[in-house]
Structures are given as C-alpha cells and as structure tokens.
C-alpha cells in the first residue's frame, strides 16, 4: 500500500468494487483526447517577445506561431506582445525599430512551406530587438502529423536563447484518466495537447513513471485483482509484467541508468522498498522496518533515494542510500508529508503536505531546507518536475473537477490543462528527447 490524498483514496476504493477481471489492452498510441490550456498569474521578470505572422503555404493544418506563443507564455518567463499584421519570413531582415516601440525584446519570424514530397518545412529566425542582433534560426522538415512537434522545437530554441536553460516544450507527459468505468493511460505533448492512449482498461491504472530514455513507462495495474507492475514500450505498445509477487506491488521508480527499478512490495507483510532488475527477476529488499516504507525516488546522480515512511509515527520523507543505509529524515514541519519528487538538477524537492486538513504542493530547497507552499488548492497530488527543473506538474481539484496543473517554482504562474469529461491524475513528466 501507499499513503494517499483524498484523490488517491478514491482510486483504491475502486478496487473493493471490482467485478470480473477485464484485461488492459496495450496498444500503439492512438490520438483520442485534447486539452485546453489556461494560464494565470503574473511573473516578476518576463521577457517581452513578439511573433510576426509567418509566411504559410495553403493546406497547413496547425497554427505554428500560435503554438510557439502559447509554449513560451506557459513557461512563466516570457510575455507575448502583439505581432502586427505584416508577414515576415526567416529570410527577411526586419526593421526592428517598430518592435522596440512595442517594447518587444525579441522577435520571431518564419515560414511553413509545403515541400515536393508532401512534407512541410518549418523555418524560423530569432532577433534580439534591443541589440539588433540575429540570434539564429533552424529548419524542421516534418510530416503534417509532426507540425506540432516542430512548433515545440522552435519554442525550445527560443526559450534557450532568451532564458539560458533548455526548453521542455518538445518533451512528453504521461497521466491517468477515468471516465465512466474506463481507465486510460495517456501520453501527451508537454502542453497537454495531442494526447494518445497508451493503455485502456476496465480496472484502475496508477503511478506511471517514465524510463530515463523516455522509451518506456512503468505503471501499476489492478487488472489481476491486485496491484501489479508492468513496463510498457511507448512506441509499440508492447508491455511486460515486471512485478506480480505475493501481496501488493506498487510505486515503481526507475534508476537513472534505467537498469533497475525500486518498488513497494508486501512480500514480508508490511510495505517495504525492494530493488528489481529492469529485465525482471527476484526482488532485493532495501528497507527493513515493521511499518510502511513507500514512494521511493532516486536522485539524478543515483547516489541517494528519497522515500516516505511512518517509522517516526507519521508519514514523513526520508533519504537513504540505494542499499538502504544512512537513513536521514528530511521533513519535520507537519505530521503528513508524502510524494517526494526530486528536480533533475538535484536542487529541489517537491512534495505534498497536509496543512490544516488540506493537501498542498510544497517545494524544499535541499541545500538550505527552506520551504515554500505553491498552491491555494486543497487536494494536490503527484508532483513531477519538468526535465529542465523550471516547472512542476501536479494533479489537483479545481472547482470540483480533477485537473492537471503546472506551476513555476515560485508559484506565480500556473497553467491549468482542462480535459474532456472524466478525471485526470497521476502525472509524470518525461525526460528530454534523445
């Protein structure tokens, strides 16, 4: 078992009412859902940028500049100013004076041209308006189906040039939804669009976790009338049963090298953390307590593991070596702290804390122990960092509806991804594409 917020408890209560087992189906990805994105909040230092209308061939099915604009604004660090009506492609050298008058610090120009083979060539150029400098550009020849991906890559380039950190717009997220009696494991673009079903089941699916190379997802399925762990190849839909030992098998977490996973098993009676080779085999017990140890997560360098334990009397977050040694308690404020997530740069830990009966997303700077509460919602769960460590994704309840959110580390800019009917939860942000 694992500790649960109110959202988590509902997913486990579903198990009690399970009837006949209906197997989940591992399919190659199929696009079946879309999201609408809402951004709220005001950042302290936002770089103003403009996108001039691109030169676009007939038949282009995606608004590439609009996708780029939405990506950049979603970061919380850039702010769009009006781009005017004049078309400017990547070959032109624009007069930058009017853009300075509009208070734009950067200008993006470009084109989307259909090629002879039916593909589309997405080209762009980035200008430093203040210094009147050409900051470069790129070309992405893609199929019509990959126009969104090309737009995300444009946004990645612009973000890195202007902010100095890699963009994450071309990465992917995974999450779980439930609608009626249908449970889905989804893979989507980082903005929540282009969602594709990786798995469909009549039984609950929880705890999706991306492999370090982004090619597989581990997750927990209840289709065997108990929680078992599968690994799932995203591109092909092929999956393999990894852990179906006596009792419960839950909370999978990949090692940074992808060679093993940690999981919470009840082989010895209580929930304890075990290591399992990624190719399968017998688990090796890591923790040795009589209570509950669960929700393990590796640090990016693989040298430490954070986890949740009630060994001190209430659920708190601890740190240990991957072999179970040198256990240190990390959280002390409050009597219920769960779901640790470590930022890819190793600087931050996001987690969920119960505060006056509400479950809230918090972040700790690990070097100093300083804490910040990032939300004003009351049912936050499952935090996951973007691969550049600049955003946190989490699930929560907004106006009575379960939704996915992202927030900047200071909590000032939040993005709500509102889904089609049904609940969404258990998000995990995938790694950079390799």
Give the integer Cα–Cα distance in Å for 95 and 129. Answer: 9
Using the CB atoms, write b or e for 166-183: b if 16+ within 10 Å.
bbbbbbbbbbbbbeeeeb
Pairing of strands 348-355, 358-365: antiparallel
DSSP 321: -
User: In what helix (H) or strand (E) does residue 254 lie, and over which residues does it extend?
Assistant: strand 249-254
pLDDT value of residue 245: 95
Pairing of strands 316-320, 328-329: antiparallel
pLDDT value of residue 38: 52
The sign of the torsion formed by the CA atoms of 270, 271, 273, 277 equals positive
User: In what helix (H) or strand (E) does residue 182 lie, and over which residues does it extend?
Assistant: strand 182-189
pLDDT value of residue 399: 82
pLDDT value of residue 204: 95
Residue the block writes with tokens 């601890």: 318
pLDDT in tens, the chain (434 residues): 343 333 333 222 222 222 222 333 333 343 333 334 455 555 457 899 999 999 999 989 999 999 999 999 988 889 999 988 999 999 999 999 999 999 999 999 999 999 999 999 999 999 999 999 999 999 999 999 999 999 999 999 999 999 999 999 999 999 999 988 899 999 999 988 889 999 999 999 999 999 999 999 999 999 988 999 999 999 999 999 999 999 999 999 999 999 999 999 999 889 999 999 999 999 999 999 989 999 999 999 999 999 999 999 999 999 999 999 999 999 999 999 999 999 999 999 999 999 999 999 999 999 999 999 999 999 999 999 999 999 999 999 988 888 899 999 999 888 887 565 578 999 999 999 87
Identify the three-state secondary structure at position 39: strand
pLDDT value of residue 180: 86
Contact 69, 63 (CB under 8 A): no
Instruction: Name the phi and psi angles at 11, rounded to 5.
Output: -70, -35
Contact 229, 236 (CB under 8 A): no
Give the integer Cα–Cα distance in Å for 312 and 163. Answer: 43
Please report the DSSP string for 349-378 in residue order: EEEEEEETTEEEEEEEETTT--EEE----S
pLDDT value of residue 22: 30
């Amino acid at each position: 078992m694992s500790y649960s917020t109110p959202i988590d408890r509902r997913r486990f209560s579903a198990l009690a009412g399970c009837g006949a087992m209906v197997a989940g189906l591992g399919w190659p990805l199929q696009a079946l859902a879309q999201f609408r994105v809402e951004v709220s909040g005001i950042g302290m230092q936002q770089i103003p940028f403009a996108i001039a209308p691109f030169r676009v061939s007939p038949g282009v099915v995606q608004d590439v500049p609009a996708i780029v604009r939405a990506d950049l604004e979603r970061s919380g660090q850039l702010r769009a100013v009006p781009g005017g009506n004049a078309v400017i492609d990547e070959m032109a050298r624009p007069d930058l004076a009017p853009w300075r008058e509009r208070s734009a610090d950067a200008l993006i120009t470009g084109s989307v041209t259909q090629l002879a083979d039916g593909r589309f060539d997405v080209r762009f150029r980035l200008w430093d308006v203040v210094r009147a400098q050409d900051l470069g550009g790129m070309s992405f020849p893609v199929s019509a189906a990959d126009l969104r991906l090309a737009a995300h890559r444009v946004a990645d380039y612009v973000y890195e040039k202007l902010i100095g950190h890699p963009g994450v717009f071309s990465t992917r997220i995974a999450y779980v939804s439930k609608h009626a009696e249908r449970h889905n494991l989804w893979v989507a673009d980082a903005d929540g669009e282009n969602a594709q079903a990786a798995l469909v089941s009549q039984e609950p699916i929880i705890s999706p976790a991306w492999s370090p190379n982004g090619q597989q997802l581990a997750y927990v399925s209840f289709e065997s009338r108990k929680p078992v762990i599968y690994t799932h190849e995203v591109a092909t839909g092929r999956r393999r049963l990894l852990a179906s030992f006596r009792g419960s098998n839950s909370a999978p977490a990949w090692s940074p090298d992808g060679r093993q996973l940690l999981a919470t098993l009840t082989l010895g009676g209580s929930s304890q953390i075990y290591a399992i080779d990624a190719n399968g085999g017998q688990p090796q017990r890591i923790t040795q307590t009589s209570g509950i140890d669960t929700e393990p997560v590796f640090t990016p360098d693989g040298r430490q593991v954070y986890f949740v334990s009630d060994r001190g009397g209430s659920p708190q977050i601890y740190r240990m070596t991957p072999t179970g040694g040198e256990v240190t308690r990390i959280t002390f404020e409050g009597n219920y702290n769960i779901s640790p997530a470590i930022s890819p740069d190793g600087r931050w830990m996001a987690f969920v804390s119960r505060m006056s009966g509400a479950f809230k997303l918090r972040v700790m700077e690990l070097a100093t122990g300083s804490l910040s509460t990032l939300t004003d919602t009351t049912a936050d769960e499952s935090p996951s960092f973007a691969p550049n460590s600049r955003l946190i994704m989490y699930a929560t309840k907004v106006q009575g509806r379960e939704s996915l959110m992202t927030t900047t580390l200071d909590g000032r800019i939040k993005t709500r991804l509102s889904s089609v009917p049904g609940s969404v939860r258990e998000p995990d942000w995938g790694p950079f594409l390799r």
